[in-house]
Structures are given as structure tokens and as C-alpha cells.
Structure 1
Amino acid sequence: MKHTEREALSEIILVNPNLDKDSLQDKLSILDVRVKTSSGKYIDIEMQLFNKYDIEKRSLYVWSKLYEAQLSEGQKYKELNKCITINILNYSFLPVARYHSIFQLREIVTHAPLIDDIELHFIELPKLKETAVSLDEGLVKWLLFLKGTEKEKCEVLAMNEPQLRYLGVFKPE
């Protein structure tokens, strides 16, 4: 599967993290972080500390609710924008060594994409090895911070990633 190019984010708009229920019987979904980019893409970032053995279905369900919530009565389907779910897991989930796996909707033999509107990310923190990746990569710095790296290493990360300093976790002594 070919990796997609990453879009530079010029603006992020925080939106309501609650996904509306269509009826009283529907399951209430609360997203950890839900954003909308300036190009109209919706991104949901979920943090899972414990394996409840349902993350693949949960991720697809949340994605479907994000996608469905974009349209109002009378709107055309072509107005739907891409939705991305990012699952940051504090446990191993997939039978691969990679810490970051990306899934899209593709034809099973040719791998030709059907549509670019669906993208599911699974980031498995236990598989992230500090020595195996470049600390210059912004994503890795944030993941190491989330993983709870040793204090001294976190301070080095914060010095090289200014946004981490703004969290107030890393204060000069």
C-alpha cells in the first residue's frame, strides 16, 4: 500500500467533540480530539490506554459518524470531505513490527484506491523504540512524550520541540 502525502495544516478549527445521536437508542460517542482542517478534512484523535478488543470496530464506527455528520438534508454527496481517525494505543494491536500503520479503502488485488475519503491510523506506543527512530521527526517527539519517556529525555524533547514546552510540563529548574 502506497503511503499518502501529508497535507501541511495551515489552520485547525476545534469542533464539538460529541457526535450527535440520531435517536435516543443510538450509542453516544465522545471523541478525545476532533478537528477540522482549513481544507475541510475532519480528524479524530483517540487515546486508548487499555485494550478492550474492539478498536478496529470502534475506529470505523467513529469514522462513519464523522463522515455522516457532514451532510444536512438536501446536500449532495460530493460535498463530503475526507475523514481521518488516529488511534494512539498504549498497547500492541496489529501483528506487525511497525508502530504506525495506515489503512485506506482499496481494491484487494490491484490496490487501486476506491476513494480517498477514509483513512484509519493506528499508532502503537509499545512498538515505538527511541533508538530506532530519528528524534528530529515531530510526530515521534510527541509520541515519546505521550509514552512517558524518562524525565531527562522529555526535557531534551521539549528543548527541540517548542510546542511541548507550552504544555507547562517542562519548566526550567
Structure 2
Amino acid sequence: MCTQLFDPKVDYVFKNIFGSEKHPRILISFLNACIKPKEPIVEVKLKNTEITKEYIEDSFSRLDILAKTSTGELINIEMQRADERNMVKRSLYYWSKAYISEYTGKGAYANLPRTICINVLDFILLEEEKFHNKYLIQNASNNNLLTDTLELHFIEIPKMKDIDESDLLSIWVGFLEDPNNEKVISLERKVEELQEAKEELARISRDPKEAENYRMRENARNDRLNALLSAEEKGERKAKLEIAKSLKGILSDEIISEKTGLSLEEIKNL
């Protein structure tokens, strides 16, 4: 019987595959595919590998990946499936936290590391055509680079329409979108790290303990989405009431009800 594979876009699964000390080649391959450094990354050291039950059950916890390369770069990777309307500022915030985490005091600013944030998104965020976009600090007039210390990447999975076999990042995104995609399966024979990731995904998917963790993480995510939806609905209702108030005395209650969706009783009680 074939095992039903977990969704690798679930942050718990994503971290177990790409943030595992047992499988550093997977992370290195993904980083080289995304960052495309002049000198390929050959070694990484993971700095936050622990995943406790409290983290899994807490809907506000981040199961991100923080790694340091052999050349001293800090790289933070986050898998985010829901658009919470804060992704850009959220990325900058976590970039800043990673950046200052290496600060030792005594004005040693020159030793602060190049810090890169990679945001893998299962939703469309940017008004850009490409599925992968990189942002730097540049001169607004001539695009001269001020520093490479800050680098933000946004990978928007839904924007990738087909896997480009010549682009390793496209292959990895194809794996995240559907590990059983026929093209992904055919590429496993060519990309060893991809095959390793698929095997690790299958192992996790067969493990009853991992299945329980997967279920708890999905429940935590659903709880958070419901809370966000409830907050949005309350905000919309408040806005409708404010609009209705401003229209009282200008339009009839019947027209206000038609335009706002509020009941006549609600409008009369304003």
C-alpha cells in the first residue's frame, strides 16, 4: 500500500526536511538554488533544530530554519502558507533579529554578518511576474548597491506554472507544490538531494509519532486562521456600522441597509 505523503508546505514538515542535521545536503542544495552565490555554499550549521510539543501546538510559534554558512552568512528560512497581511514587515523584523543575534557589543558593527531571509509563500504577495524575487538595499537613482548585508527573498509557489528542469529552484518549488508530480519523480534520478528529500518525506509520513505532530500542527494552524477570520469579520462589521452612522439622515434606512448589508433593526438602533 502506498503511503499518503504529508504536505511538505506544512512548516513542521518543511523544517524536518530542510532543517535536519541528518540531511544537510538538502538545505545546501536549496540555498544554492535560491541565493545563487558566486561561490557555492558547501557547509551549513543549523542554529535552531529543536521542535518541542509546545512549539507544535502553539499557533503563533515559528518553525523557521536558521543556519550559518562556513563563510559566516546567516540565513533564515520561513515557510508561510497563509497571507496574514504582514509578510514584508514580518520578514524585515525577523531579519533584524537574526542580524543582531551575532552582535557581541563594544561597537563591533563591522563584524555583523551578511544576513539573508528566504520567505517561501503558498500565496501571492507581490506585484511581480516571477515566482522568485530578491530585494537588496540600493541607490534609488542609479541602483548602485549600498551593501549586501541585507537580502530578502520571496518565493511565491502559486506563481510557478511549470517546472523548469534547467532551474534547480524551480525543481524544489515543484517538489513543495506536489512531491508526486510526474516531472518531480523523473528528476529524482538526476538530483540526488531531491531524492533524499522525497525519501525523508516518505519516512516522516509513515511514522505514527510524526503523524500526530502533523495533525497537531494543522489543528494549531486552523485555530489561528479561524481567529484571524473572526477578527477580520469584526473589523468589517465595525466599518459597516461607521458607514451606516455617517449616512443616517442623508439616506433612508432601507437604502443604507441595502448598501451596507446591515439589518433595518441595526440601523434604527444607531
Deviation of 1:95 after TM superposition, in Å, equals 0.8
Runs of 5+ in structure 2 lacking a partner?
1-34, 51-59, 204-270
Deviation of 1:72 after TM superposition, in Å, equals 1.4
SS at match of 1:126: helix
User: Conserved in 2, the CA contact under 8 Å of 1:59 and 1:85?
Assistant: yes
1:57 to 89, 97, 110: 89
User: Conserved in 2, the CA contact under 8 Å of 1:17 and 1:30?
Assistant: no
Higher helix share: 2
SS at match of 1:166: helix
2:173 is the counterpart of 1:143:
yes
2:146 is the counterpart of 1:109:
no
Q: Structure 1's 151 and 51: CA in aligned 2 closer, same or farther, altered over 3 A? A: same
CA deviation profile, 1:98-134 (whole Å, cap 9, x unmatched)? 101110011111111211100000010011121xx53
SS at match of 2:188: helix
Which 4+ runs in 1 deviate beyond 2 A? 28-31, 149-154
Q: Which residue of 1 aligns with 2:185?
A: 155
What number of residue pairs does the alignment pair up? 157
2:102 is the counterpart of 1:70:
yes
Runs of 5+ in structure 1 lacking a partner?
19-27
Q: What RMSD over aligned residues (CA atoms) do the two structures have, in Å? A: 2.3
User: Conserved in 1, the CA contact under 8 Å of 2:64 and 2:78?
Assistant: yes
SS at match of 1:59: helix
SS at match of 2:126: coil
| Aligned 1:22-61 pairs, distance under 5 A | 30-61=62-93
Higher relative contact order (Cα pairs below 8 Å, separated by 6+ residues): 2
User: Conserved in 1, the CA contact under 8 Å of 2:123 and 2:157?
Assistant: yes
2:120 is the counterpart of 1:88:
yes
Identity over aligned pairs, percent = 33
Deviation of 1:49 after TM superposition, in Å, equals 0.6
Q: Which residue of 2 aligns with 1:118?
A: 150
CA deviation profile, 1:126-164 (whole Å, cap 9, x unmatched)? 11121xx53132211111000115443331132222112
Higher strand share: 1
SS at match of 2:68: strand
Task: Give the Cα–Cα distance (whole angstroms) in 2 for the partners of residues 94 and 88 of structure 1.
Answer: 13
Deviation of 1:32 after TM superposition, in Å, equals 1.3
TM-score, normalized by length of structure 2?
A: 0.54
User: Conserved in 1, the CA contact under 8 Å of 2:119 and 2:155?
Assistant: yes
SS at match of 1:154: helix
* Higher Cα Rg, which structure: 2
Task: Give the Cα–Cα distance (whole angstroms) in 1 for the partners of residues 179 and 48 of structure 2.
Answer: 31
Task: Give the Cα–Cα distance (whole angstroms) in 1 for the partners of residues 125 and 135 of structure 2.
Answer: 14
